[in-house]
């Protein structure tokens, strides 16, 4: 993924630092609680929400099962409509394709619609190396770019900044990137939006090339769909002469009718709106109307490998609504940067280790960035069982085993640093396989329960420092059953 995330520490170290930042925690708490409360109201308005949720999951699952078919259908339709389709196996190939396409236009500037996929592959950094300036036009992405920062939320990338911090960034940095902020800029939202509008307008009017992602790709007609709230996407998608869209292959849906589900669930689940303000759709090119050259870069970058995992593949259903972030107690306290990826929060904890693998300390730590409380699953509009995938990935980290890497089956070794966990699990497995030993151990634990320490010794010390150990009962369930119902038989 992006070079900007390279070298970031494992989640526990990053979170230990970010949780000390009271300003950050205050900003996150206020923002996530506000969005989650509004979302709950918007979702409750739809009596058929459970059915929409199930339908959204089913359509995605069916599409993923036949993804090869739908991608070929999409390519045929895009090509027939005047677009050019490129296939990118990984981030390096996608960056090379986009850089070459921009170079071929002779331009050194591009405007960008907010795009997680381009953040994932580090496209801005790759373009900068080639001498091409990429200007983010989404307000929050603009704040992040001007502040030399990284996004920390899927929907609100600058959620960690409050409005006075944004005012300072605009005042200090806008002039370096184009039109400067007005003198005496206040931190009123309307004034900040005005400053951004004026700064961006000259870029929209000047740019000859735009780069976008897409929320959905409709295979039957080759149509791409972007949902947004500010109108910056509409400007980028209509004014420039050349449009390059970089989209993950899992964003494909078969038909326009399928889109009907997500146009109801995505706005309510993300911004708590009944309908998002701007829904832009485009199909190839149209003479005299909009960009005259259209390129679609279909990005794999670990998605096919993810698809090969029958438990983990459900992460590819994600429609990036961010509802799981807004209810996650870990995200609320640690913030998005601690996840070291374009995808923070619960979805990042299951998607990133599948796209990038679990070889690095950071990626191996992500499946543990959760309390497994299940709130993320409850709110997910496509019913991704995030806790199930987290546990599945923890097993992969601790035990290693067979995975698919770049389309080939491989056996990965267990990650470093989980020896105690592995030994405990093996001991538990052996004990559960030997009922007589288990029974003897339970009786011994019951008889000595008054002698048990309040904290675990050794490697368990940190775990038990913030938790109460469960009390051992005077009698085990097995013994109770045998005494009261078993009539002396060993049942
Ligand atoms: S995992 Fe579900 S809740 Fe989280 S961003 Fe994706 S679709 Fe939304």
- So what's the pLDDT on residue 377? 98
Query: Distance between CA atoms of 307 and 303, rounded to whole angstroms?
Result: 6
The percentage of residues in the chain with a pLDDT greater than 70, rounded to a whole number, is 98
Reported as a single tens digit per residue, the pLDDT across 198-249 is 999 999 999 999 999 999 999 999 999 999 999 999 999 999 999 999 999 9
Which residue puts its alpha carbon closest to atom 8 of ligand 1? 321
* Neighbour count for residue 462 (Cβ, 10 Å): 10
Q: What is the mean pLDDT of residues 409-416?
A: 86
Please check the confidence at residue 1 and state whether its pLDDT lies above 50.
no
Fold of 46-299: Rossmann fold (3.40.50)
Q: Is the pLDDT of residue 422 over 90?
A: no
Name the packing angle between helices 419-433 and 386-399 (round to 10°): 100
Q: Look at residue 486 and tell me whether its pLDDT is greater than 80.
A: no
Q: What is the mean pLDDT of residues 358-365?
A: 94
Distance 319 CA to ligand 1 centre (A): 6
pLDDT of residue 264: 97
Q: Percentage of the chain with pLDDT > 90?
A: 80
Q: What dihedral do alpha carbons 49, 51, 54, 56 form, nearest 10°?
A: -70
C-alpha distance across the termini of the chain, in Å: 55
> Which residues lie with the beta carbon below 6 Å from any ligand 1 atom?
154, 318-324, 347, 379-382, 384
pLDDT at 487: 62
CA-to-CA distance for 372 and 374, rounded, in angstroms?
A: 5
How many residues are given for the chain?
491
176 burial via Cβ count (<10 Å: 0-12, 13-18, 19+):
exposed
Backbone angles phi, psi at 27, to 5 degrees: -60, -45
For residues 111, 113, 119 and 124, what is the CA-based torsion angle, rounded to 10 degrees?
Answer: 0
What are the residue ranges spanned by the domains of the chain? 46-299, 419-484
Site of tokens 């931190």 = 187
Is pLDDT of 489 > 60?
A: no
Listed in sequence order, the DSSP H helices in 19-138 are 22-44, 49-65, 67-80, 91-105, 116-121, 123-129
Ligand 1 centroid vs 67 CA: distance in angstroms? 20
DSSP state for residue 316 in the 8-state scheme: G
Q: CA 261, 265, 267 angle in degrees (round to 5)?
A: 125
For residue 318, report the distance from its CA to the centre of ligand 1, in Å: 5
Measured torsion, CA atoms of residues 253, 255, 261, 266, in degrees rounded to the nearest 10? 40
């Amino acid at each position: 993924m992006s070079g900007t995330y390279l070298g970031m520490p494992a989640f526990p170290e990053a979170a230990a630092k970010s949780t000390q930042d009271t300003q950050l925690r205050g900003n996150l708490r206020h923002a996530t609680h506000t969005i989650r409360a509004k979302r709950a109201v918007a979702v409750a308005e739809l009596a058929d929400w459970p059915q929409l949720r199930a339908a959204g999951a089913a359509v995605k699952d069916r599409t993923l099962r036949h993804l090869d078919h739908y991608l070929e259908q999409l390519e045929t339709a895009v090509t027939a409509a005047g677009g050019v389709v490129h296939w990118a196996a990984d981030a390096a190939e996608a960056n090379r394709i986009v850089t070459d396409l921009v170079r071929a236009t002779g331009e050194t500037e591009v405007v960008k619609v907010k795009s997680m996929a381009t953040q994932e592959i580090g496209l801005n950094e790759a373009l900068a190396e080639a001498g091409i300036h990429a200007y983010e036009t989404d307000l929050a992405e603009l704040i992040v770019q001007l502040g030399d920062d990284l996004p920390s939320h899927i929907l609100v990338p600058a959620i960690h900044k409050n409005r006075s911090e944004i005012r300072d960034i605009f005042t200090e940095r806008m002039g370096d990137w184009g039109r400067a902020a007005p003198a005496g800029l206040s931190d009123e939202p309307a004034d900040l939006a005005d400053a951004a509008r004026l700064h961006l307008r000259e870029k929209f009017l000047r740019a000859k090339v735009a780069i976008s992602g897409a929320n959905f790709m409709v295979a039957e007609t080759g149509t791409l769909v972007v949902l947004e709230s500010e109108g910056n996407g509409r400007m980028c998608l209509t004014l420039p002469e050349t449009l390059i869209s970089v989209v993950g292959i899992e964003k494909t849906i078969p038909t326009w009718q399928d889109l009907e589900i997500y146009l109801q669930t995505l706005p309510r689940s993300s911004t708590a709106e009944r309908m998002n303000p701007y829904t832009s759709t485009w199909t190839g090119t149209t003479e005299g109307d909009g960009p005259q050259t259209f390129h679609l870069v279909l990005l794999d970058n670990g998605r096919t490998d993810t698809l090969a995992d029958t438990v983990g593949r459900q992460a590819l259903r994600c429609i990036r609504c961010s509802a799981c972030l807004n209810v996650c107690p870990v995200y609320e306290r640690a913030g998005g940067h601690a996840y070291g990826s374009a995808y923070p929060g619960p979805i990042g904890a299951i998607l990133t280790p599948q796209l990038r693998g679990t070889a690095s300390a950071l990626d191996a730590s992500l499946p543990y960035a959760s309390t497994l409380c299940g709130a993320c699953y409850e709110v997910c509009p496509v019913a991704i069982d995030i806790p199930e995938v987290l546990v599945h990935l923890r097993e992969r980290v601790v035990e290693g085993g067979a995975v698919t890497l770049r389309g080939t089956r491989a056996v990965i070794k267990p990650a470093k640093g989980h020896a105690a966990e592995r030994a405990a699990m093996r001991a538990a497995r052996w004990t559960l396989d030997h009922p007589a030993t288990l029974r003897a151990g339970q009786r011994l634990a019951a008889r000595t329960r008054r002698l048990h320490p309040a904290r675990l010794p050794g490697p368990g010390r940190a775990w038990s420092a913030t938790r109460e150990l469960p009390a051992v009962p005077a009698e085990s369930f097995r013994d109770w059953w045998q005494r009261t119902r078993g009539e002396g038989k060993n049942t």
